Amino acid sequence: MKTDFDVIIVGGGPAGSTAASYLAREGLSVAVFESEMFPRPHVGESLVPATTRVLIDIGAMDKIDAAGFPKKYGASWTTPGKHSQLNSPALSFDFDGHAAVQFGERDQEGVDRPYTYHVDRSKFDLILLKHAESCGANVFQGARVLKVDFDDPSLVKASVRFGPRTVDFSARMFVDASGRQTLLGRQRKVKVADEVFDQYAIHAWFEDLDRTALAATPEETENILIHFLPISDTWVWQIPITDRITSIGVVTQKHQFAEANTDREKFFWKYVRTRPDLAEQLKKAKQVTEFRPEGDYSYSMKEVSGDRFVMIGDAARFVDPIFSSGVSIALSTARLAAHDIVAAFKDDNFEKAQFAEYERLQRLGTKNWYEFISIYYRLNILFGAFVQDPRYRLDVLQLLQGDMYEENPKALAAMREVVTEVENDPGHVWHPYLGNLRVALDPVTA
């Protein structure tokens, strides 16, 4: 059966353009339909080093290197108070409320450098989309996919709106990379909102923030800084965008924003003021973009593949962004899905079973991220302890670097054990520090 394209991809974000690059390089005819006109702003500006592997693989690394994005050598966490008295029977450590890692401490297979980047997503996403085009993909911008039709078992049909016109295109395979708009997840009614994480973020760019004033050491100045606020499960990201621009975002639970019953700006400043050291520096800087909200995130899908389709990146699952995981998940799932799609074309078989390995790895990687994040919210001083303990430091770093696609990583297993012990023992010295966001810690749940 003749179709317009071999593969239709909806969404030209990092997941869609990476999948398009892989598939076009294999000689498949690929169409990417993107509803916006690039460049467009997007949240999600700090990468983890596992992205390097994929960017090298698709041949885009040199273009990203040439863009002049700030180098990111590590990550740091700061807290409002001192906790040096928190030696635990299980783990002995002197915690001053500050933790940091540098990526160069652990070698990563396929990653040729000790840093990754913080990126202006309007530029980063444009480079990747143009790269997909240079690999041979047909990219259509201003093209919104309205629905996908699987009625004919021999092909997939997508209805695409270009301004006032709607045109149908056919393909043998469909990839949903529509991000948090989750086109297929909504159409197929398989999207499941997370029961525990219902976060909300407000963010903007600031000019001339003194980043050195907030970093514990000069070498941490260009890290991502995560500042904890003295409000349950609430934190602020600080991400360098250029020499002078810094992205700042407050992340909290959505109900806190709803209950505050105020506007975004007042809410942002009210929360920031709970960390006077941060508020003082931020007031001296100049806000250069409007506050943007991000809500309705953290969900999974009952299915991420089926006959003639796969979902990748945020279209397949979204986990809380505290460890800067999103773009890495987008790139890694694009790579894994492309592998199975190429095999499906070789076998001329597009049944769901062809994508079983993709679905297994997608679920494994996002489950590991989710559990890591859950443990962190439950007991973030435990994270500080593990980062400082030489027995676990490199295993935790492995996760922070984005190397997530293995069964029960060592650091997760050990953290799960300690957090369970603390929860079951009200007399434990760490018990009062348990957070409110609790999910079942089970290594086999998706």
Ligand X SMILES: Cc1cc2nc3c(=O)[nH]c(=O)nc-3n(C[C@H](O)[C@H](O)[C@H](O)COP(=O)(O)OP(=O)(O)OC[C@H]3O[C@@H](n4cnc5c(N)ncnc54)[C@H](O)[C@@H]3O)c2cc1C
- Distance in Å, CB of 201 to ligand X, minimum: 4
Is 313 an interacting residue with respect to ligand X (CB under 6 A)? yes
Task: Give the footprint of ligand X on residues 233-252 (CB under 6 A).
Answer: 249
**φ/ψ bin of 182: left (φ > 0), alpha (ψ from -120 to 50), beta (otherwise):** left
Applying CB under 6 A, what is the total number of residues that bind ligand X?
39
Is 402 an interacting residue with respect to ligand X (CB under 6 A)? no
Nearer to ligand X, 16 or 384 (CB): 16
Select from 16, 185, 240, 384 the one that contacts ligand X (CB under 6 A): 16
For residues 275 and 228, what is the distance between their CA atoms, to the nearest angstrom? 8
DSSP three-state, residue 203: strand
Task: Give the footprint of ligand X on residues 144-163 (CB under 6 A).
Answer: 144-145
Select from 111, 127, 155, 183 the one that contacts ligand X (CB under 6 A): 183
Question: Are 89 and 101 spatial neighbours (Cβ–Cβ below 8 Å)?
Answer: no
For residues 8 and 26, what is the distance between their CA atoms, to the nearest angstrom? 15
Select from 10, 86, 373, 385 the one that contacts ligand X (CB under 6 A): 10
- Distance in Å, CB of 358 to ligand X, minimum: 15
Instruction: Pull the structure tokens for residue 256.
Output: 């806190």
For residues 426 and 445, what is the distance between their CA atoms, to the nearest angstrom? 27
Binding-residue pattern over the window 105 to 144 for ligand X, x denoting contact by CB under 6 A: ---------------------------------------x
- Distance in Å, CB of 203 to ligand X, minimum: 7
Q: Which of 324, 315, 330, 319 is nearest to 55 (CA)?
A: 330
Select from 7, 22, 35, 358 the one that contacts ligand X (CB under 6 A): 35
The DSSP secondary structure of 9-72, one letter per residue, reads EE--SHHHHHHHHHHHHTT--EEEEESSPSS---S--B--THHHHHHHHTT-HHHHHHTTPPEE
Q: Which stretch binds ligand X (CB under 6 A): 273-281, 285-293, 312-320, 360-368?
A: 312-320
Instruction: Pull the structure tokens for residue 431.
Output: 């018990």
Q: Which stretch binds ligand X (CB under 6 A): 211-219, 273-281, 310-318, 378-386?
A: 310-318
For residues 307 and 382, what is the distance between their CA atoms, to the nearest angstrom? 43
- Distance in Å, CB of 444 to ligand X, minimum: 25
For residues 207 and 212, what is the distance between their CA atoms, to the nearest angstrom? 14
Is 256 an interacting residue with respect to ligand X (CB under 6 A)? no
The residues of the shown chain that bind ligand X, judged by CB under 6 A, are 10-16, 33-36, 42-47, 144-145, 177-181, 183, 201, 249, 294, 297, 313-315, 321, 324-328, 330
